[in-house]
Structure formats: C-alpha cells, structure tokens
C-alpha cells in the first residue's frame, strides 16, 4: 500500500468513526428500504463513471494509486449506506438544500455541478468531501454551530475541496 493511500484510508476511517457516548441528537430516519437501495444503485453507477473518468485522465502508477484510493472510499461509502449510517430526514434535507442552493446561485463556477449532501449519524462535529460530488455532514455538527452562516461556511469549505478536485 502506498503512503498516500494509507493516509487517505486513515482520514476516511476517522471521518466515519462513531462517538456514540456523545450523541445528543436522535435523528428520525424516515427513509424506507427501497429508497436506500435506490441510492446505493445510484452511487454504484456514479462511482463506476467517476472511476472511468480517472482511468481516462490519469496515466501510469499514479492512476493505479488514485483508483485504489477512490475505490476504497467508494466501497466504504456503500457499506455505510447498507449499515444505515446515514439518515434521511426532510427537515434537515430541506434546510441543507436551501443553504446549498443559495451558495450555488452565488457562485457561477458551481452551477451545473452535481452536489449531493448526506447526513451521517455520527455525533462528531465534522463534515467531509468524498471528491466525487458528495458531501457528508455529521449530525453532531449541528449541535456545535449556532446559525445558518456557520453551516454555510462549513459547506463552502467542503465544496472548495470538491472544486479543487474538479479542476485537477
């Protein structure tokens, strides 16, 4: 395993870790099994397309390392979806969508880009980018932010990670 892959794997593992004893919010999961299965299929298709683009745009040993790292992230994401580590609550989805829409409307570079936001059940105050258009916001982050501007700032930070990947 390459050094870069090890660091990336460690960061992904830490991002998905649970701090169960600190959980204060109890999210209500309103998604049914069918919705979750559809989302998994959608992600599997998107991952395949994303990996194809990497394969086409990158050469040599770096391509192998890059694909290996992204495939590890992608399989972890699918496992997390299957284990119901994300929840789908319209209250959060609508709130986050309104913030993201405002950010995208104000930034012409983001218009036409696919951004998907998922809410993780993790109680840690964190958010992260998966580098293929998905942003993960842990439920614990909501407890530590006081207003919409702070949430927008975190989302912008994660979009910046996405944008830096898109232009490479």
Percent of the chain surpassing pLDDT 70: 79
- Model confidence pLDDT, tens digit, residues 78-114: 999 999 888 877 788 888 889 999 998 998 888 888 8
Query: Which is nearest to 12 in space by CA: 64, 62, 67, 71?
Result: 71
- Model confidence pLDDT, tens digit, residues 108-152: 888 888 888 889 999 999 999 887 788 999 999 989 999 999 999
pLDDT surpassing 90 at residue 10: no
**Which is more confident, 52 or 13?**
52
Long-range pairs, 141-147, Cβ under 8 A, ≥24: 142/25, 142/92, 143/24, 143/25
**Which is more confident, 153 or 168?**
153
Q: Which of 24-28, 37-41, 59-63 has the lowest mean pLDDT?
A: 24-28
State how far the Cα of 97 lies from the Cα of 103, in Å rounded to an integer: 10
Q: Where are the alpha helices (DSSP H) in the chain?
A: 3-16, 33-57, 60-82, 90-106, 139-144, 148-167
**Which is more confident, 62 or 8?**
62
Whole-number pLDDT of residue 156: 93
């Amino acid at each position: 395993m390459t050094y870069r892959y090890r660091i990336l794997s460690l960061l992904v593992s830490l991002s998905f870790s649970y701090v169960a004893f600190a959980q204060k919010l109890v999210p209500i999961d309103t998604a049914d099994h069918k919705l979750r299965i559809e989302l998994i299929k959608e992600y599997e298709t998107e991952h395949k397309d994303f990996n194809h683009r990497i394969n086409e745009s990158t050469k040599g040993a770096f391509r192998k390392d890059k694909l290996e790292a992204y495939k590890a992230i992608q399989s972890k994401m699918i496992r997390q979806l299957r284990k119901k580590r994300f929840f789908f609550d319209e209250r959060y989805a609508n709130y986050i969508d309104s913030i993201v829409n405002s950010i995208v409307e104000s930034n012409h570079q983001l218009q036409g880009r696919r951004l998907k936001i998922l809410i993780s059940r993790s109680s840690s105050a964190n958010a992260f980018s998966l580098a293929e258009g998905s942003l993960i916001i842990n439920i614990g982050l909501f407890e530590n932010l006081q207003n919409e501007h702070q949430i927008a700032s975190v989302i912008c930070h994660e979009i910046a990670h996405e944008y830096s990947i898109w232009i490479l």
